[in-house]
Amino acid sequence: MNRKFLYMTAMNVKRSSYTLHRIKASQLFYPNGAPDSALAAVEDRSVPPPTMSFHSPRNKIVCTDERGRAVLYDDGLQAVRMLPSLKKAKWQSVPLAVGDNLLVMEAIPKNDQEKLHQSFEALMYGEWPKMFKGVDFFWHSIPPPPYVYAPGYGDDRSGVITACTVVNSSSILISTESLGTYCLDTVSGKWGKTGAWPLPFKGLAEYVPEYDLWFGVSAKGGGVLCASDLGAALAKQTPPPVFQEWEGFAAPEGTELGSHLLHLGAGRFCVAKLIMTTRPQETCCQMCCFHDTTAIVDKLVMFTGVEIHRCGRGLKVIKHKSFRYSMGPCSMAKILY
């Protein structure tokens, strides 16, 4: 299935509201390949009108707020419905789609034994627990990775999830910089340590079946894309080798806040970047300027169309159009996977 649209949420800090914007993925690509003269060009565009707005504070898509309340937006029906609340609210959440379920993880997993935290929960659809009747959405608790129970855990940031991906359609890999890589079988709910090494990615990596490889942003940074054969590495229990890397995707200006590689289907991808720039401003006193009255902060979102084709034993990357959207000083954007 080819992905036709990219989705982005934007937060208006002044009004504490969120808007959902839909962007046609086809606009990022030239019809007959990318001419050499266009490789470095970035086209500034106005943000498309929102398809809908969320006015409840601090909501996300699938919308969860700081109290764990959840809302589901159906783009096909353009309708919103309430979901059951998370068992425990998540402060820094990492979403990951596993089959038909959505797994929400704390970026820094915690020890759940005292019931003060619930680091991993899956949004599922089916028969509710015994006290309820009928079929609907519900949140299912999943134990955290076993390293959270090690003595002294939590004294540093060694347990931060730096990369994650889905393998074998029902298992996930999470990676840390110093504690290694762990695998969760979402059917049995059991964890296992895959290796003492980290994944070669930063953030979410996606499996692309036509190449039988995983693609994502390299652990080296947002300016480098990466492909790796995780399947072979898991079978041999060895560090996953990098099949190929491509440089030249760094932000043209400002500070890069985040970078994602989104698979659109049929060999097409989108490199999505969140960028922050500053400019002189003597009169700004908004909290989004970080209390610096001499500079104002602008947030930018940049999308770049990319094609990947087989070329002999390797892969060839063709860079297409780049669009840059200015979100203004009082917005915070988030790219939806």
pLDDT digits (tens, 9 = 90+) for 296-335: 778 899 999 999 999 989 999 999 999 999 887 666 666 6
On whether both 60 and 153 belong to a single domain, the answer is: yes
Residue 187 lies in a domain: no
Identity at 271, one-letter amino acid code: V
Concatenated DSSP letters for 230-268?
Answer: HHHHHHHTSPPPEEEEE---S-SSSEEEEEEEEEEETTE
Classify residue 322 as left (phi > 0), alpha (psi -120 to 50) or beta.
Answer: beta
Residue 64 lies in a domain: yes
Whole-model pTM?
A: 0.78
pLDDT at res. 58: 39
The residue among 134, 159, 184 that closes a domain is 159
On whether both 46 and 135 belong to a single domain, the answer is: no
Closest to 269 in 3D by CA, of 205, 192, 195: 205
On whether both 337 and 265 belong to a single domain, the answer is: yes
Residue 230 lies in a domain: no
Q: Measured between alpha carbons, how far is residue 162 from residues 27, 111, 123, 225 in Å?
A: 31, 18, 22, 16
On whether both 47 and 68 belong to a single domain, the answer is: no
pLDDT at res. 39: 62
The residue among 123, 143, 159 that closes a domain is 159
On whether both 45 and 62 belong to a single domain, the answer is: no
Residue 213 lies in a domain: no
Within 10 A of 109 (CB to CB), how many other CB atoms are there? 24
* Cβ proximity of 216 and 206 under 8 Å: yes
Residue 145 lies in a domain: yes
On whether both 121 and 47 belong to a single domain, the answer is: no
At 55-105, the pLDDT tens digits run 543 354 677 777 888 888 777 667 788 888 888 888 788 889 888 888 999
Residue 36 lies in a domain: yes
Q: Could you tell me the two tokens for 137?
A: 């959405």
Residue range of the domain that includes 317: 1-51+251-337
Residuewise pLDDT in 10s, the chain (337 residues): 688 899 888 877 665 567 889 999 999 988 887 776 656 678 889 888 888 776 543 354 677 777 888 888 777 667 788 888 888 888 788 889 888 888 999 999 988 776 677 889 998 887 766 555 667 888 988 999 999 988 888 777 789 999 999 998 889 999 998 899 999 998 888 999 999 999 999 999 999 999 999 999 999 988 999 999 998 888 888 899 999 999 999 988 888 988 999 999 999 999 999 998 887 765 555 555 555 556 777 889 999 999 999 998 999 999 999 999 988 766 666 666 5
3-class SS at 87?
Answer: coil
Q: Could you tell me the two tokens for 77?
A: 């029906």
pLDDT at res. 56: 45
pLDDT at res. 184: 94
On whether both 20 and 79 belong to a single domain, the answer is: no
Residue 91 lies in a domain: yes
Q: What's the structural domain count of the chain?
A: 2
> What's the rounded Cα separation, in Å, for the pair 201 and 204?
7
On whether both 33 and 101 belong to a single domain, the answer is: no
The residue among 110, 131, 159 that closes a domain is 159
On whether both 26 and 110 belong to a single domain, the answer is: no
Residues 6+ apart with CB under 8 A from 209: none
> What's the rounded Cα separation, in Å, for the pair 278 and 297?
5
On whether both 41 and 129 belong to a single domain, the answer is: no
Give per-residue burial for 310-319: e unless 16+ CB within 10 Å, then b: eeeeebebbb
